[in-house]
A and B are shown apart, each in its own frame.
Chain A
């Protein structure tokens, strides 16, 4: 089955700096890669996703890149703000897996004012 590894497990950045979280996956059939943000006491919120026919996607301060050959994808947050502090989960899935999401272990991001 699919295995997703996520690094780093914790990330502390100064407000205004950039944050990068990296994930690798094992199943070459995986073709959909969502990123979720989970604030304390809340459910995961989809922040951006990418499909395997696209190499990069941006939404304001958030971008995701995908390297299918190397089987890794990354989340980039620019101009970080204190409200970006949360746990971020990457995930991977494929039609063959019935859209069952395999999550990475999560990254706790702390943005210091």
Chain B
């Protein structure tokens, strides 16, 4: 089973809202990732967690705040976003940080 699940599937939020995206995997993977994907572009890495610790932050604005409560869960907290943050947010996981990454279906975020 190589399933990564993400909720919600779609999210519409205003610029003053606070919302969270959730990602879950039960494959025993110890590395988890957040990516942002704009239309007709490849995914762009945002954050990497390895063994529940943040190991890479690709200079992402502080209005995006990741959290890894345990080895199966990854959250992305959103606050004071801008319309240009509208995108597909993808979660991925891998056995370790040097292993194959498996992506979830994504959350389509629209910021009004």
Contact = CB atoms under 8 A, between A and B. Distances in A.
Q: How large is the interface on B (under 10, 10 to 19, 20 to 34, 35 or more residues)?
A: 20 to 34
Contacts of A95: 98
Given A98-B56, A106-B41, A46 B102 contact: yes
A45 interface: yes
Given A43-B90, A99-B97, A99-B98, A106 B103 contact: no
Interface residues of A, number: 20
Given A44-B90, A99-B98, A105 B42 contact: yes
B98 to A, nearest CB: 5
Interface of B: 2, 4, 6, 31, 40-43, 45, 48, 55-56, 88, 90, 94, 97-106, 108
Most interface-central of B31, B42, B106 (chain A CB within 10 A): B42
B43 to A, nearest CB: 6
Contacts of B106: 42-43
Nearest to B55: A98
